[in-house]
Every structure is written in C-alpha cells, then in structure tokens.
Amino acid sequence: MGAKQRDISEYILAHPCDRDKAEQIHRIVTSYRDELMTNHLLQDVLLNDGYELPDDERPKSFLDLGGAVFNRSMVILHLTYLETMIDHATRPKNAYVSMPVIDTSGETGIVFPGGIDALPIEITTAEGHDLELIEMIQRGWFENTDVAEVVRKYHSVLNESFDEFNMQYVLLRVHHAPRHIMPDEETEQLAKEMKSIMDNDAFTALDSAYYNLAMSFMREAGGLWEKLNDSEYGRFFRLTQEEVHEGMSQRRHY
C-alpha cells in the first residue's frame, strides 16, 4: 500500500507564508516522495548531488534512507522490528533440520537421534530462527485476536508517522537541491526546477507542519505501544526502551 496523499488543508501552517506557494511545493514534494524509489534521475539529484548512483546503492524503500532527524530514525527502528515480527506471525515458514556431524573412529559420520551418543537436533526456519518459538508466535496470532488488532493499528500509525517524516525528508532534499553544474542536461534541468519552486517561508511552514503531524502520529503509536507492553503476547511486537536505546546507539555509528 502506498503512502497517503494528504491535501494541504490537512496541515497546520503555523509559520507565515504564501499559502498558494506552500500548496505548490507540497504537491511537488508529494509527487517526488511517491516517485523516489522508482525514478533513478530523481534519486541522483536528491540523494547524490546529481551524479549517478551505483545500482547497489539505490534505495529500495524509505527504510533504506537515513537522515539527521532523530525521531525519524527511531520510527525506522520500530517499523523494521515490527514488520519482521508480523511476518513471523502471519507467514508460513519452511523447517530446516540441522543434525550434528561428529567424528567417530577417525571417520566423519552422523549419530542418529535416540542413539546412545546422540547430540541435539536443531529445527529452524530458513532465516535461522527457532521454529518452535515461531510456531508459538503464529498460534498466538489466532488465539489473541484483540492483541493482533492492536498490532495492526500500531503498524498503521507508525507508517502514518513515517510517511510524514518522509515528506519532511524529501522537502529538505529539494530545498538543498544541488547548485553546482550538473553532469548532464537532464539532471541540470531537474535541479533548476527544484530551485525555481522553493520559497524560504513556505519551506519553513511545511517543514514544521510535516514534522508536527509525524510527531502526533508518533505519540498515538506510543499509546498503542503501552497496550502491547501490558500483554504477554503483545510484548513480542514491541521493542523495549533498552532495545531502542541500543538500536539508536548502533545507528549513530553508520
């Protein structure tokens, strides 16, 4: 499902600006956000100063794009974990049996289960996760439908917050469109278009509006986090404060 396209009327523009200009920029930012993952020219200008990005560096989603906004990085952390856990809870997993290979009498062989010298057999998913734990999480999804509903709502609200942080991210990139000479005519033209539509007052108004709406969704997600934290099963789908702190510390090193 794609990001929601909001009308300018859904935002509070607290900073004085030309509303028509703000609406024009908002429409362009929305369009750029929706096209960024598939438009290589747009990626080159917004993400790499107009120079061609190597294929292995092109983002596949906004989750691949870092940034200086702390709360956006925090939402990425929560979303990445949550989507992994929803996948574990709702998608069938293939089982892989890992049988220990040992050395007997100078030859490599397998001790069969139940034998006198048997070693434990590991049954995991393709990703290496404990299959018994994954199956327990999957059973819980159907046994705790009220919690599953909160998980879905939590996921939806986090995505709403992330969408607005991404609007702010794209707006900032457009505002700082490259001002040097582009390597070719196409990138030069796109950079000129970006510079021609930007207005400092409208930028400030939209920057605050996107951030404030993102934070309102983030606060709503915080209430849903509390509900998950109050449930034994729900705790599978939320990061603890300690885990968030550790995750954010690791992100700062990249």
**Longest Cα–Cα distance in the chain:** 85
Q: Which of 7-16, 90-99, 233-242 has the lowest mean pLDDT?
A: 90-99
Is the residue at 105 inside a domain? no
Matching residue, tokens 């917050």: 161
| Among 155, 121, 167, 140, CA closest to 224 | 155
Domains held by the chain: number: 1
**With contact defined as beta carbons under 8 Å apart, do 82 and 154 qualify?**
yes
Is the residue at 101 inside a domain? no
Is the residue at 162 inside a domain? yes
Is the residue at 211 inside a domain? yes
Is the residue at 173 inside a domain? yes
Domain extent, residue 186, equals 17-91+144-251
| Among 88, 32, 23, 91, CA closest to 65 | 32
Is the residue at 122 inside a domain? no
What is the per-residue pLDDT across 216-225, written as a single tens digit (0 to 9) for each? 999 999 999 9
Q: What is the pLDDT of residue 80?
A: 95
Is the residue at 56 inside a domain? yes
Is the residue at 133 inside a domain? no
pTM of the shown model: 0.84
